[in-house]
Amino acid sequence: MKTNALPHPDLEDRFLMPPGWRWHMFKNSQGRDIRFGSVAPESGIPDAVVIVLQGMGEFTEKYFELAHDLLKRNLSFWMIDWQGQGKSHRYLKDPHKRHSGGFSQDVDDLHYFIMEYVKHSAVHPDVGRIPLVMLGHSTGANIGLRYLQQYPEMFTCAAFTAPLIGLSVLKPMPSWLSRPITAAFKEAMDQSYAGIRDRQWRPEMRDATKNDIHSSDPARKAVHNSWCQFDPALQVGQVTYGWLHEANISCLKLQKKGFLETVETPCLFALAGKDRLVDNAAARKAIARMPNARIQEIPGAKHEILMETDDIRNRFLEAFDELLKSNNLKEKLKPF
């Protein structure tokens, strides 16, 4: 039986588990296992607790570099694997099928996670309540925005990269048409893979030239596949028609007039100029209606801004620093 020579992929230290890291598991209201991980600064008193919300098909290990970065800034890092990916519950017998029972389930899982685990760590006897900050990517941004609308007092501020407010694949369709079409596909082929390519996970889903849509940085681009090849339990293939419909429904909810207007939490949105997965035009239109939000345009970025080259990635992280400063979370920050 072949075994791995290392307890982790052969990656640079910055991409590996930070010292003090802890894994946990909880059962959600449906009795399904949800995995999460966390790490805190050595002092034990962070300036803020950052809850990072991963994108579709991702997993916590992919964000270890970000965890290192936040620790250097005296910030705690927390992340859950959404249902259907990482080492959380998989919906279907075929674990590669990225299915969904509705994004409202993810909002509920996030709330349980925060109330039962994160909030207890965000109080210290010497300093009192420690602010919560949200940092969401793509699908995580969609779920995060719904959370902010439903629980407006929980987070001090929030930042998002490549927010999923509209699906690029549905961009040519008006909302009145896309909803019944995705509903019809869900009705007929709910648990079937959507599309005709890239079904079960395989390295070519990201490595092939035609699929080079995630990052311009060779080292960071390799992190996703390195972890999936090291630990097959992390692998996720193509989405199902059921997921596609639920994602569309959730996007239309965010786009509906009157929804995001009620989110008063200060928000930063970074849009990747070379994004081929989310609809930036839909995002701009929806964000413009928010009372306390600003957009950061990053023309040269592909979809995964936090996995991009240093110059692109640091542009966002510097804006994230400014968001913390403007909300009185950090007084003195060294630039990235």
Closest CA to 76 of 52, 54, 49: 49
| Phi, psi (deg, nearest 5) at residue 27 | -100, 130
Q: How far apart are CA 54 and CA 135, in angstroms?
A: 9
Q: Rounded to whole angstroms, how far apart are CA atoms 103 and 108?
A: 9
Q: Give me the pLDDT at residue 335, please.
A: 47
Q: In whole angstroms, how far apart are CA 12 and each of 20, 73, 260, 311?
A: 18, 20, 40, 19
Per-residue pLDDT at 334: 46
The pLDDT of residue 333 is 44
Cα separation, 255 vs 250, whole angstroms: 9
pLDDT in tens, the chain (336 residues): 444 567 889 999 999 999 999 999 999 999 999 999 999 999 878 999 999 999 999 999 999 999 999 999 999 999 999 999 999 999 999 999 999 999 999 999 999 999 999 998 888 888 889 999 999 999 999 999 999 999 999 999 999 999 999 999 999 899 889 999 999 999 999 999 998 666 899 999 998 888 899 999 999 999 999 999 999 999 999 999 999 999 999 999 999 999 999 999 999 999 999 999 999 999 999 999 999 999 999 999 999 999 999 999 999 999 999 999 999 875 444 444
Q: What pLDDT does 198 receive?
A: 64
Q: State the pLDDT at residue 219.
A: 97
Do 335 and 318 meet the contact criterion of CB atoms below 8 Å apart? yes
Q: Cα separation of 335 and 333, whole Å?
A: 6
For residue 35 the two structure tokens come to 């995995």
Domain boundaries, given as residue ranges, for the chain = 19-326
C-beta atoms surrounding 145 within 10 Å:
32
Can you tell me the distance from the alpha carbon of 335 to that of 84, in angstroms, rounded to the nearest whole number? 36
pLDDT for the residue 4: 58
A 10 A CB-CB count for 178 gives 22
Q: Is 164 exposed, middle or buried (0-12, 13-18, 19+ CB in 10 A)?
A: buried
Angle at 335 between CA 220 and CA 55, to 5 degrees: 35
Provide the CATH topology of domain 19-326.
Rossmann fold (3.40.50)
Q: Report the C-alpha gap between 227 and 87 in whole angstroms.
A: 12
Position of tokens 């080079």? Answer: 212
Burial 181-211 (b: 16+ CB within 10 A, else e): ebeebbeeeeebbbeeebbebeeebbeeeee
pTM reported for the whole predicted model = 0.95
Task: Report in angstroms the alpha-carbon separations of 30 from 89, 240, 319.
Answer: 11, 21, 38
- Please report the pLDDT score of residue 125 as a whole number: 82
What number of other Cβ atoms are within 10 A of residue 333's Cβ?
A: 16
Structure confidence at residue 332 (pLDDT) = 43
